[in-house]
């Protein structure tokens, strides 16, 4: 028997309604053949979990994929779960929703690379995202990934490259990957969660009343848990929306949209929540500040009480209207190039 979910919040003129979802990250496994020290989910080659099946993905994704701009298969390393990866891509293709994947790209090297690319293209994958930063270097050097980018581009994929800013980061890396064939190369700051909490870097500067775009992309974990964002696995008390094996995933997403605490965090960001709480010396990293607030039951209770104020609720409604109009520095979703 499925456990009951809480009743939805009553609707009203100042109801907290967040903007539409952006993308659905689907973590196929926490397993990865790398063990990078900056990994925000602490993926390792030995990681095991109660992983979702290909049949579950084929059932879950068609029911909700159209609520998202795209579905992004990730992990761990998604290519270590080929049957699930292909099943998920096919499920998205069947309902006309673009699918991508985030990978380290090592599978693009050596025997079988062309066959693997053919399988992905046959399932309907139109583009892929490859990751590079100094923390990947011990496992897969930049020169090898540059070759892999060129190989995937030559095969007909549109390739995006995601870079993480570290101590040795160079702005010139983006130019190198574009020259190799990537259509886009972007940079993000380190998420200080998971193993990355041990990496001492200054992250994204927290500004009061600055929205948190990560909460527009709830994440489906390998065991079917649905979290409010891709960095929220350690915040189960506030950011776990439920499990797709126990409740229809569409119902979990609907409940997400009526969660006033998460809607407020999306609109105001962790910095805005800290301001409501009167925290003057908060963290300078978005994820770390979020964790500092949400892991405190007393702070969460104070926030829930504050969200009962009509003036604050109207402010959040207005911020969400601005949030929904934000543009992201990414290209249009590409179609696979036709041969010839």
- The domain ranges of the chain are 23-201, 262-324
With CA atoms as reference, report the closest residue to 22 among 228, 213, 162, 190.
Answer: 213
pLDDT at 6: 42
pLDDT tens digit string along 230-284? 877 678 899 999 999 999 999 999 888 788 999 899 888 888 899 899 987 556 6
> For 23-201, which CATH superfamily applies?
Aldolase class I (3.20.20.70)
User: pLDDT of the chain along its 340 residues, tens only?
Assistant: 334 444 444 444 455 666 678 899 999 988 888 666 556 665 566 666 678 999 999 999 999 999 998 999 998 899 999 999 999 999 999 999 999 999 989 999 988 999 999 999 999 998 999 988 888 788 889 999 999 999 999 999 999 998 887 778 888 989 999 999 999 998 877 665 555 554 555 555 555 557 888 888 999 999 999 999 887 767 889 999 999 999 999 999 988 878 899 989 988 888 889 989 998 755 667 778 888 899 999 999 999 999 989 889 888 888 777 766 665 554 555 544 434 3
Longest Cα pair distance anywhere in the chain, in angstroms?
62
pLDDT tens digit string along 187-224? 877 665 555 554 555 555 555 557 888 888 999 999 99
């Amino acid at each position: 028997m499925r456990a009951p979910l809480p009743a939805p919040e009553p609707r009203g003129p100042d109801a907290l309604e967040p903007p539409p979802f952006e993308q659905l990250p689907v973590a196929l496994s926490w397993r990865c053949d790398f063990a990078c020290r900056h990994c925000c989910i602490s993926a390792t080659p030995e990681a095991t979990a109660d992983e979702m099946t290909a049949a579950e993905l084929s059932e879950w994704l068609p029911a909700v994929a159209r609520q998202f701009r795209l579905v992004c298969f990730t992990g761990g390393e998604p290519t270590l779960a080929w049957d699930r990866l292909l099943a998920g891509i096919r499920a998205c293709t069947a309902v006309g929703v673009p699918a991508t994947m985030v990978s380290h790209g090592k599978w693009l090297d050596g025997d079988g690379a062309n066959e693997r690319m053919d399988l992905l293209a046959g399932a309907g994958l139109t583009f892929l995202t490859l990751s590079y930063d100094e923390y990947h270097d011990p496992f897969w050097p930049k020169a090898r990934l540059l070759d892999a980018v060129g190989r995937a581009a030559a095969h007909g994929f549109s390739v995006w490259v995601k870079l993480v800013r570290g101590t040795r980061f160079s702005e010139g890396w983006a130019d190198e990957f574009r020259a190799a064939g990537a259509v886009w190369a972007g940079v993000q700051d380190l998420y200080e969660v998971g193993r990355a909490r041990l990496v001492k870097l200054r992250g994204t500067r927290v500004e009061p009343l600055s929205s948190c775009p990560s909460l527009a992309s709830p994440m489906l974990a390998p065991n079917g848990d649905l979290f409010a964002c891709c960095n929220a696995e350690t915040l189960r008390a506030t950011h776990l929306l439920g499990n797709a094996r126990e409740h229809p995933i569409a119902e979990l997403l609907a409940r997400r949209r009526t969660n006033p605490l998460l809607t407020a965090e999306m609109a105001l960001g962790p910095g805005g929540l800290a301001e409501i709480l009167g925290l003057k010396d908060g963290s300078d990293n978005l994820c770390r500040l979020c964790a500092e607030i949400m892991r405190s039951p007393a702070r969460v209770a104070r926030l829930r009480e504050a969200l009962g104020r009509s003036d604050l609720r109207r402010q959040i409604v207005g911020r969400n209207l601005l949030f929904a109009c934000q543009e992201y520095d990414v290209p249009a979703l590409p179609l696979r190039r036709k041969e010839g």
